[in-house]
Structure 1
Amino acid sequence: MKRLIIAFCLLTACVTAMAEPGYYLVTVYDNKGERSIDYRYWTVKFPGQDETIWPELGLGYGVTTRWYTEFFVSYIGSSKSDLKLDTWNWQNDYQITQGQYPFDVAIHTNVARAHDSGEGYALEIGPVFQTDVGRVQLNGNLFLERNYHAASAIENQLKYQWQAKYRWKPLLQVGVLGFGELAECRNGCPRDKQSHRAGPAFFGSYAIDSSITIKYQLAYLTGSIYGMHGNMLTLRLQTVF
């Protein structure tokens, strides 16, 4: 319990000092027995419009060498003063391979339940790929998101993630990160149904002691968001213990 309190205080201090947006890439890793307090904060900004922010706070646990699970809540708003609860989420990542091939594969799932019951829920599922070329880590993910609304309407969306990261030092690693979405397109897929954005990213970790580590991911992405030019500044902070 004492370690949990210390970890939470450290994370809160980092968030206060680095109140920047965060979105993150799903990766393949073995973290059996590790617990984490996970803070994500990401924004979307269109020219001439107010910024939209999505803070998220979660608790994660490495159940086995292959299975990672996390429960988190997501908020939405145009400023810190008007945030409202958006979704409840349960994420599970299961690692299929563990080094026996040139690349590792995992299956990612996330079930999101809208706080407003009338908005229904969503299931996100798909493969996660990771490989190393020297000191460069390469990632590529492809997810299908299926939204179920209370009115029985079903919507599908294809989402992709990619990353190239150079492992320079534990405290600072640099790379390029990209995200995209394709809404359900039965007769082609016009630009207003697509999103493609990418930009520079920074990563790192710092060990407070032998039992507590702070990890961060920071990126600035730009590109199209459903046919409109937009920018995204992203941050993820984890206290692992």
Structure 2
Amino acid sequence: MYFTLNERRLPPAILLAVTTNAALADGVVVDRIYDPYVEAGETELEWRATRLRDGASEESEEEALDGVHLHRLGIGYGFSERWFGEVYLIGEGSHEEDLSLAGVELEAKWQITEQGEYAADWGLLLEFERENDKDLSEVAVTLISSREWERWTGTANLEAIYEWGSGEEELESALKLQGRYRWKAELEPALELYAGQDTFGLGPVLLGEIKLRPGHRMRWEVGAILGLTDESPDQSFRILLEYEFF
């Protein structure tokens, strides 16, 4: 793997994630970054999407990712003050292929610590994904950490992924980091870093929350992640809409 950045200057955790093949859904690393928090009795309707733009040459394998768009449509529920579960339908498309149902995903989030109990808040995300059209299955475990200082919040997602099917088995990893400035609930700017399968990217993100009526709110996120290495997609765009109610 060739990098335009000096590998010796990368922190070991980032370097490990970059040099290990890691991604859900065929190399699409850029996605939401999870916080560790759970609210009992909350119902959530979610749509999120990622679209890649890559100006790779015709000889490059990365060209297959140009124009790829991945969608997740999910419904979730907070079963307790510690556990939240969600199920997703996954759709994939590209310039050459129309959007189609590619698989399903089951997800469970465990809030390990109470908010503010320690210097950082901790959670664990468990995922199972089945891609029917490619006869592939994945299980993933993500360690989530979040810490606040003054008006800033830092969040880290460290993923370990095991993939099997189609005669292959892989153990993968990925790292996602977010630094968010809590300006106001409706608009919070952030910076995100992603390291995974052929992707090392950094870019700005905007997040917000709109209260609709008591017990109902809409969360949104939109971001553009720029590739920092030759093998990374030039741009990865992500969007999230989430309707939450009790």
TM-score range, shorter chain: 0.7 to 0.9
* In 1, Cα distance between equivalents of 2:74 and 2:154: 26
Pair 1:72–1:226, CA change in 2 (3 A): farther
Which among 143, 149, 153 is matched to residue 133 of structure 1? 149
Unaligned segments of structure 2, at least 5 residues: 1-29, 57-62
* In 2, Cα distance between equivalents of 1:226 and 1:74: 28
- What SS does the corresponding residue of 2:34 show, helix, strand or coil? coil
Unaligned segments of structure 1, at least 5 residues: 1-21, 183-193
Shift of 1:224: 4.7
Which among 29, 33, 44 is matched to residue 25 of structure 1? 33
Which among 170, 174, 181 is matched to residue 196 of structure 2? 181
Letter in 1 for 2:42: E
* In 2, Cα distance between equivalents of 1:136 and 1:86: 37
Shift of 1:211: 2.3
- Pairing 1:209–2:209 present: no
Larger RCO (CA within 8 A; separation ≥ 6): 2
Q: Which residue of 2 aligns with 1:144?
A: 160
Which among 20, 29, 36 is matched to residue 44 of structure 2? 36
Shift of 1:228: 4.0
Q: Which residue of 1 aligns with 2:69?
A: 53
The share of aligned pairs that are identical, in percent, is: 20
Pair 1:226–1:144, CA change in 2 (3 A): farther
Answer yes or no: is the 8 Å Cα contact 1:23–1:236 preserved in 2: no
Pair 1:238–1:80, CA change in 2 (3 A): farther
Which among 181, 185, 197 is matched to residue 170 of structure 1? 185
- What SS does the corresponding residue of 1:208 show, helix, strand or coil? strand
Kindly report structure 1 stretches of 4+ aligned residues shifted beyond 2 Å. Answer: none
* In 2, Cα distance between equivalents of 1:85 and 1:229: 23
Q: TM-score scaled by structure 2?
A: 0.79
- What SS does the corresponding residue of 1:97 show, helix, strand or coil? coil
Q: Which residue of 2 aligns with 1:239?
A: 243
Q: TM-score scaled by structure 1?
A: 0.80
- Pairing 1:62–2:70 present: no
